[in-house]
Amino acid sequence: MNELNVDSLVDVNLITEEGLEKHLTIALQKLYIANRQISHLDSQINYLRKLFRRAEKNNGYAVRYNLRMQLSISSGVKVMYHHYAAFMEHRIASIRAKIDESSSSSPTPEETINVRI
C-alpha cells in the first residue's frame, strides 16, 4: 500500500506515459477498497435496520432515535463511497484510454527503420 503516496487525483492529461501504469494500479486499488467499504456498509445498514424493527416492536423510543441516526450516517457515507467509486471508474477509463492512445500512436519498428534510412 506504499504505492498510494502518488497524487492519484492529478489530471490524467498531465500524467506522463511512464506514470500511467502506476496511476492505473493505484486507481484500481482504491476502487477495490471503496467497493469493499460499500459492501461492509451494506451489511451494517441491514443489521441496523433489523435492530430498528426490533426496537419498534418493543416500543424503544430512545433506541429507535439512536438507530435512526446511525442508519442516516451509514447511508450517507455509503452514498459518498458510491460517488467516489463512480469517480474512480471514470478515472480508470480515462487512464486506460490514454494508455491505448499512447500505445497506438507510438511508431512501429518498421516505421522507425524507415525514419533512419
**DSSP H helical segments within the chain, as ranges?**
17-57, 61-105, 109-116
Task: Give the pLDDT band (50/70/90) at residue 108.
Answer: low
pLDDT number for residue 112? 53
User: 31 to each of 34, 36, 97, how far by Cα in Å?
Assistant: 5, 9, 17
SS3 state of residue 117 = coil
pLDDT number for residue 29? 96
Alpha-carbon distance 77 to 65, whole Å? 19
Residue range 90-99, pLDDT digits in tens: 999 999 998 8
Enter the C-alpha cell of residue 109: 519498428
Task: Give the pLDDT band (50/70/90) at residue 101.
Answer: confident
Enter the C-alpha cell of residue 12: 490524467
